[in-house]
Amino acid sequence: MRPPTECRWSFPTHDQWDPNDDIVAIGADLEPDTLLYAYAHAMFPMFIDKKHTQLGWWSPPMRGIIPLSGFHTSRSTRKSARLFHCTVNEAFEEVMHACATEHNDGNWIDEHFMKAYTALHRMGHAHSVEVWDEDNALVGGVYGVRINNFFAGESMFHRVTDASKVALKFLVDLMNLDGMSLFDTQWLTDHLETLGAIEIPRDTYRELLAQAIAE
């Protein structure tokens, strides 16, 4: 797809961003064209306040990514993977709902986000990986947004040990098979660092992003 170059909203340009602030804009909406424009310009949305009245657009000064050639899989994860099977886009809404309810840091995913990303999914821009156990129960997953060779991981969940790691491994393998080049994780967490994630400066990220969405 061709990344959007225009938007109905006047977002600040990157040279206007505070170099030390994660939040680079406030307001706008979650319409598909707004979301795609934002992702193509190194931003992603999250509510700023707990009451979900202020929508913020974030672009951390240090950005987390998973190098596609450097994903780490432990022996225990490889062993666990034999107990699961993975699918793509079979249960997008279920995965997103689980991400919103299975852990505390998913509470920014409310009905507005569910509706917005489900719309993106139906348009072919948002995707999920599902992990199922031997009884065909959904036990883990991850979802995010794709623009050409760029994938923005939004959230993941697990209900049994290693299920989210298996989802990420499956996603990384798919991205490598498809010749993709950039896997954005927004921030670097301790958990993601154990899997091979790193953080890079915002300007470096923007350069990699521009290359990935132009490919």
Please tell me the predicted confidence (pLDDT) of residue 3: 64
- pLDDT band of residue 69 (cuts 50, 70, 90) is very high
- Structural domains for the chain: 14-61 (3.30.70), 64-214 (3.40.630.70)
CB environment 159-197: b (16+ within 10 A), e (fewer): eeebbbbbbbbbbbeebeeeebbbbbbbebeeebeebbb
Closest CA to 147 of 46, 8, 40: 40
Please tell me the predicted confidence (pLDDT) of residue 1: 66
Please tell me the predicted confidence (pLDDT) of residue 137: 98
The terminus-to-terminus CA distance of the chain in angstroms comes to 10
Closest CA to 155 of 145, 170, 169, 147: 145
- For residues 194-198, average pLDDT: 96
Q: With contact defined as beta carbons under 8 Å apart, do 121 and 127 qualify? A: yes
Query: Is a pLDDT exceeding 60 seen at residue 116?
Result: yes
The chain-wide mean pLDDT, for the chain, equals: 94
- For residues 151-167, average pLDDT: 96
